[in-house]
Structure 1
Amino acid sequence: MENSRDQPAHDFPLHLGVFNGDTQLVAQLVRVHDLSQKDVHGNTPLHLAVMLGHKEIIRLLLAHGALVRVKNNAGWTPLSEALSFGDRKIICSLLKSLKQQSRELLDQRRPALIQALEDIGDFYLELKWDFHSWVPLISRILPSDLCKIHKKGSCIRLDTTLVDFNDMRWERGDITFVFNGKALPQNALIVMDNKLKVFQRIRNEETEHEIQEEVDILMRSDIMAAQMSTKNITFSRAQSGWLFREDKTENIGEYEADFYNVHGLTLESKKRREHLSTEDIQKNKAMLENLTKMAFDNKEFERRLSLPPPEKPDATWEDYITAAVGHPPCLGRQPLSKESQKAFKATIAMSQDFPMTVDVLLDVCEVIAPFKQFQKLRDFMSDKLPPGFPVKLELPIFPTVTAKVTFCLLEWRENIAESMFKIPRGFREDPNRFPDL
């Protein structure tokens, strides 16, 4: 296929129709044209429609399946551009389409993912995760838990003790999540409160109220684009000892593990805030400071109103399509952007005694939380990780807070009871037990 950068302007007829706001032409072309085609700047027709605020064309494109989760050359999606434009109805329609498209993609992949889960042997796994800090007050309120995971066939059960966070305290309980791969999607994931003897089916669709709340948050937040770069990651053996340094080796649970320092782990992020007022920026800064201090404010926001539309661009289609790649004329609100990189100093412990392979772990993770870049993660963990299985990972997430994940125990089991994945007798359904799910 010819690269879009080398294609002449007339090779983008749908883009041209969108740019000119020709709804009638767009209505004809959407039936026969590739809606995912990118122009020289990486923009799809939906990108352009959003930047220019052509509401009827946006509706047409979404109705014919134009993808929302697609980035242009600058790394921004149509939803990012909609937040910049600031029209609440446009943002809401894009967000709803994004969620619907994500559900449809998961439904398409579901049979293959369930089969991959079936092919893995049945097991019991203990996974410990915690956050810790050298600041005593913060350390006391940081969460931690030991998750117990059972897997049989296409079913997974996860038992945990964390329930909620109230009045600066973590509420403990006895909670079970059950995923049943053979059940209908609306019944596939259930959470049970074993103390109250109630269960709740986790919905795969949000209510209108929840959608509107998410729109409010998006409209008053920075527009973010971030990725964890793995290109330059290297590993070196961690050392221990004061006078006589030697390679660090310790037992993690039952497994001997070699410790490595991770170098070159970088979070590359870009943010835009041309849609925010000075008051918004100050409030967001205060919220971030409270988050690092583990102080939460649960006040509800007022509904966010649409912004006045940006001025119409002076650029013509020829100006746009012939502009140097990476330097298109501004079609919407003038961007106010900032790029940054943050390096993380992580530590990882690899055990060659652990009875599970990295590939099996990835298969399980992909079933539970599939995402678009999973193949990149699989390639990285298969090709770059030191020998063995990553039984422990420590990663600083704030200057004072470090996250730690540890695989404590794994046993392959053939006699796991099917009853573990069913709702016990006497449990009643309570659709409001976990309002955030």
Structure 2
Amino acid sequence: MADFEGFPLHESVFYDDLRRLSQLLRVHDLSQKDPHGNTPLHLAVMLGHKECALLLLAHGATVRIKSVHGWTPLAEAISYGDRQTILSLLRKLKQQSRDALEDRRPSLIEALKDIGDFYLELKWDFHSWVPLVSRILPSDICKIYKKGPCIRLDTTIVDFKEMHWERGDISFIFNGEDKPQQSLTVLDNRLEVYQRIRYEESDTELEDEVDILMGSDIMAAQMSTKNITFTRLQSGWLFREDRTEMIGDFEADFYTINGLILESRKRREHLSPEDVQKNKALMESLSKGCWDNCDFKRRQSLLPPRRKDVTWKEYINATPGKPPCLGRSMIAKESSKTFKATVAMSKEFPMTVEVLLDVLEVIAPFKQFQKLREFMHTKLPPGFPVKIEIPVFPTVTAKVTFNCFEWRDNLDDTMFVVPSHYREDQNRFPDL
């Protein structure tokens, strides 16, 4: 039997005991997980205990933390359907993300200054196991320039959402010496306009996002790297030997990646049958930037789910990971796909993985770069991954090749500023 006495915050939330909760939260860990991976904030939103949720948020409860099954408190709040709770969690999530980046910002800037100036070129090739889809998927060569605390990235893919992408001539410019609100700028070089990456959303933008969340499937996807292993690839027919090839200017050893799994989960218990029908067309319109055709009447809170007759002891003593349902009965679909992939590691490449992670931290607005960062945190074989395959969507894999790397001490400062004749357009990239 589990020791339910070991979770006083959870118990206080379960009984909606606001007075006891306020006394305990100053001396207990708000991020503590119970045997089901739920934090006190998870329980507060699942049970509809709004005052408890607001109190936990006011004291810094983490919104991004996941349960055993990969669900955040925000996901559970969407399932429950109370609009104000969803808005409160969304606003706190954005604030916590900004605070985390600001906490890391000084060390990130110092790390960039310590790295020599360079030019890096990497190629993205997207392909799919779905027949014929690979023929229409894009490829791109990203060019990254780094000078002091500044980074510039040039790319031709403006946005990429599985089967939808937009071509263009785009540059991201990061200046570590600017104020956070002005440090990251994106340029559309064809239209000769620029947009400062939004540091903080307006109330209207947050309300719009709540509408989208309440009318969409709840999604959770993660690349599972816990059981990854690497096997040295062999070449030759009669005389087998370790496979080694030149990737660009660098000799590299090839490995097979075993046990790379992309897990995805989808929930829709909060959606009406009409929502389910509208959802696909709505997301299609949004992905194409067609905001005018979408019906954005503010969505109302759902009626609370019927209260389950579950005691605290029944909940906390249930088999770990299999708790009784506390909120809305879940309608979920799960899928996982194992990817067969290879990675080429070079001991000659002049950059380390740690340095690349510092650079990628700056240019994280790209979904595919976020996936690359996730994978780079895996314990890789010796060297630098000059060629690597990573899943970016359940049906799409990206092959990333580091074609070129050069240390450069003569990069022009004008590369890292917005051209004077460009005009500002804060609506050019609505998702950024």
Residue equivalent to 1:177: 172
Shift of 1:420: 1.9
The change in CA–CA distance for 1:427 and 1:361 in structure 2 (over 3 A counts) is same
The change in CA–CA distance for 1:237 and 1:170 in structure 2 (over 3 A counts) is same
Determine if contact 2:371/2:392 at 8 Å carries over to the other structure.
no
Residue equivalent to 1:413: 408
Residue equivalent to 2:313: 318
Count how many residue pairs are aligned between Structure 1 and Structure 2: 424
How many Å separate the matches in 2 of 1:395 and 1:33?
A: 39
- Which residues in structure 2 correspond to 1:53-72 (within 5 Å)? 53-72=48-67
Selected match of 2:378 from 366, 369, 380? 380
Selected match of 1:224 from 207, 213, 219? 219
Report which stretch shifted further, 244-253 or 194-203.
244-253
1:206 aligns with 2:201: yes
- Which residues in structure 2 correspond to 1:212-361 (within 5 Å)? 212-238=207-233, 248-278=243-273, 280-281=275-276, 298=290, 300=294, 302-303=296-297, 304-361=299-356
Residue equivalent to 1:161: 156
Partner SS for 1:47: helix
Partner SS for 1:380: coil
Residue equivalent to 1:107: 102
Partner SS for 1:14: helix
Residue equivalent to 1:150: 145
Selected match of 2:113 from 118, 133, 141? 118
How many Å separate the matches in 2 of 1:334 and 1:77?
A: 17
RMSD, aligned CA:
3.8
What do the CA deviations read for 1:266-293 (whole angstroms, capped 9, x no partner)? 12344433323445556667899x89xx
The change in CA–CA distance for 1:316 and 1:75 in structure 2 (over 3 A counts) is same
Shift of 1:344: 0.4
Residue equivalent to 2:17: 22
1:76 aligns with 2:60: no
Q: What letter matches 1:68 in structure 2?
A: V
Report which stretch shifted further, 106-115 or 236-245.
236-245
Determine if contact 1:347/1:395 at 8 Å carries over to the other structure.
no
Shift of 1:379: 5.5
Q: What letter matches 1:36 in structure 2?
A: S
The change in CA–CA distance for 1:128 and 1:333 in structure 2 (over 3 A counts) is same
Shift of 1:260: 2.9
How many Å separate the matches in 1 of 2:121 and 2:351?
A: 13
The change in CA–CA distance for 1:202 and 1:396 in structure 2 (over 3 A counts) is closer
Determine if contact 1:216/1:301 at 8 Å carries over to the other structure.
no
Q: What letter matches 1:325 in structure 2?
A: P
Q: What letter matches 1:265 in structure 2?
A: L
The change in CA–CA distance for 1:42 and 1:432 in structure 2 (over 3 A counts) is closer
1:85 aligns with 2:85: no
How many Å separate the matches in 2 of 1:325 and 1:213?
A: 37
Shift of 1:188: 0.6
Partner SS for 1:419: helix
Partner SS for 1:159: strand
TM norm structure 2: 0.83
Residue equivalent to 2:423: 428
Report which stretch shifted further, 426-435 or 200-209.
426-435
Return 5+ residue gaps in structure 1 as ranges.
none
Shift of 1:392: 1.7
Q: What letter matches 2:200 in structure 1?
A: E
Shift of 1:248: 4.7
Determine if contact 1:117/1:367 at 8 Å carries over to the other structure.
no
Q: What letter matches 1:273 in structure 2?
A: R
The change in CA–CA distance for 1:194 and 1:67 in structure 2 (over 3 A counts) is same
